[in-house]
Structure 1
Amino acid sequence: MRRAPGTQDFAVQAAKAAGSLLGATFGAAGALRRNKPLHPKGLVYDALIRRVGSPIMWGCPWLDDEGTDAGAARLSRAIGLPAPVPDIHGLAITFTGDDGERNDLLLATTGLGRWGRFLLIPRSDPHTCSYGSLFPYRSSRDLVLLAAVPLPAFRPQEPPAVRFRLQAAGVAGHWHAFGTLELSTPEGGLTDRPLRFNPVAYPLPGLRTPRALQRLREPAYIAARRTPARVGPR
């Protein structure tokens, strides 16, 4: 006898259907724009993550332990509205871990409260607003959300940089700091580069995207990659 589909199976199938719809929508938007369907223009920074370890254990060494990661980060406007018109800003980070594997993290302007952490919020200044993962990751112990909260940009005797405090929280719990993120101007100045990010294909060490969310997000990433990224004036 065929087993009746359970709640988890239904969630995966529903996410797959919604993901297919999103993929078609993103593909059409990219074709019309002849560029990325979202975040068409941005600026690429050098990124340095300094992890000091979380005060509570998540069952994920990348969150629980000390360490340093160097890579690149891109700040961009999701819709591409001209500044200072509020837009949903994106903070995308990529780095190579100690094991040689690529790791991507995508954050967007969200709230930090119980419900606001699941809502995208337009902001005016990308350097003074908080960013969140919007969707949770799964560690070996629990679901966990990530966030970056702005810190003062200057430190004595060091060049100016955009700095964030990195935080982790459960789907309804308090935020706990586990490190900092520093964005600095690369050699040659700030420019855009046709970077592509995919946190499903290149997850953070010890964290994974729940299966239903993978089915929801992956078609959109595939559709976005079909349109070549153009680099032009911000």
Structure 2
Amino acid sequence: MGGRLVRSVRNAAPSPRGDAGAAAGRRGKPPGSWPGAAVEAAFRLLARLRGAPALHPHGLTCTADLEVVDAEGGAWSVPWLDAPGRYTATVRLSRAAGLPRRLPDALGLAVRVDRADGPDHLLDLLLTSSGRGRITRHVPLPRADALGGPYSSLLRYRVGDHHRTLAALPRRTRQAPVHGDPVSLADALAAGPLVFDLCADTADGSWRAFAVLTVRTALSLRQEESPGFDVYAHSARRFAPGHTLAAVRRAAYRGSRAGRRGRTRSG
């Protein structure tokens, strides 16, 4: 009987993790996951209130095509980059905060490439207006002109056997600034396509092109109908985002998608 009593006491003793740890275990989330949960909840609420993505709520979705260019400097060791190819794509150009069009804002360039890594396989890229330098390419920089400078992945990608920062460098085909709001972008596209060189940085800090992106025609989509881009769900073999801030970014994507779905069901 004494043995049974000791075992009962041991079974009833609190977990060394404490009540919070036990509760987290019951929810299937490890202790320390609260930052991700907080980010997810915040992005879900913001997306629900906006009825659009939590960040970059105001944008223009467009048809596009992407052509892989010859690899100068050797192979990338990435299947979809080491063979000639032309792909249909969808692009969303946007403003992060939705400020008035003449004010600088962090501008977004989201790219979805169809069948880049095989049939029914999508590849998403999310790029933000940034600088060109070794440090500023990792920093979002507000900009008024959508063609006024590069767009960067900010964080590094695993490209083949190396970690590289990705960028889209706009080709300046017109003198007047192109504001980043949907109306100005649609007017600009009516006058001709917008062209970007997609690049990855090299060991010496220079940019090496791997594709040309041509944005062609604006689509008639409401903001709540814009694609849900996700670089983690839609990557390619040997071409994927690194682990830096991955948990937080995944939580933000989940929250934004959930908030948009909730707004659609309720409204």
2:232 maps to a residue whose letter is V
Question: Do structure 1's residue 66 and structure 2's residue 98 form an aligned pair?
Answer: no
- RMSD (CA atoms): 2.9
Distance 2:202 2:38 in 1: 29
Structure 2 residue 49 is the aligned partner of structure 1 residue 49: no
2:257 to 218, 221, 225: 225
Q: Residues 130 and 16 from structure 1, CA distance in 2 versus in 1: closer, same or farther, beyond 3 angstroms?
A: farther
CA 1:185–1:32 in 2, change beyond 3 Å: closer, same or farther? closer
Cα offset, 1:32, TM superposition: 4.0
The equivalent position to 1:202 in structure 2, one of 224, 228, 234, is 234
For 2:212, the aligned partner's letter is T
Q: For residues 195-220 of structure 1, what are the alpha-carbon distances to aligned partners after superposition, in whole Å with 9 as ceiling and x for unaligned?
A: 11001000144312233443231000
| 1:175 is aligned to 2:207 | yes
How far apart are the structure 1 equivalents of 2:37 and 2:161?
A: 30
Q: Residue 192 of structure 2 aligns with which residue? A: 160
Gapped regions of structure 1 (runs ≥ 5): 1-12
Computing the radius of gyration from Cα coordinates, the structure with the larger value is 2
Q: 2:67 aligns to what SS in structure 1? A: strand
Give the secondary-structure state (helix, strand or coil) at the position aligned to 1:66. coil
Q: TM-score, normalised by structure 2?
A: 0.70
Q: 1:88 to 1:202 in 2, by over 3 A?
A: same
Shift of 1:194: 2.3
CA–CA distance in 1 between the matches of 2:227 and 2:216?
17
Greater fraction of residues in helix: 2
Deviates more, 1:100-109 or 1:30-39: 30-39
- The amino acid of 1:86's aligned partner reads P
Q: Residues 53 and 160 of structure 1: is their aligned pair in 2 closer, same or farther, counting only changes over 3 Å?
A: same
Structure 2: stretches of 5+ with no match in the other structure: 1-29, 175-190
The percent of aligned pairs where both chains have the same amino acid is: 32
Return the match for 2:156 from 108, 124, 136. 136
Equivalent residues of 2:109, 2:127 under 8 A apart: yes
| Superposition deviation, residue 96 in structure 1 | 1.6
Count of aligned pairs between the two proteins: 214
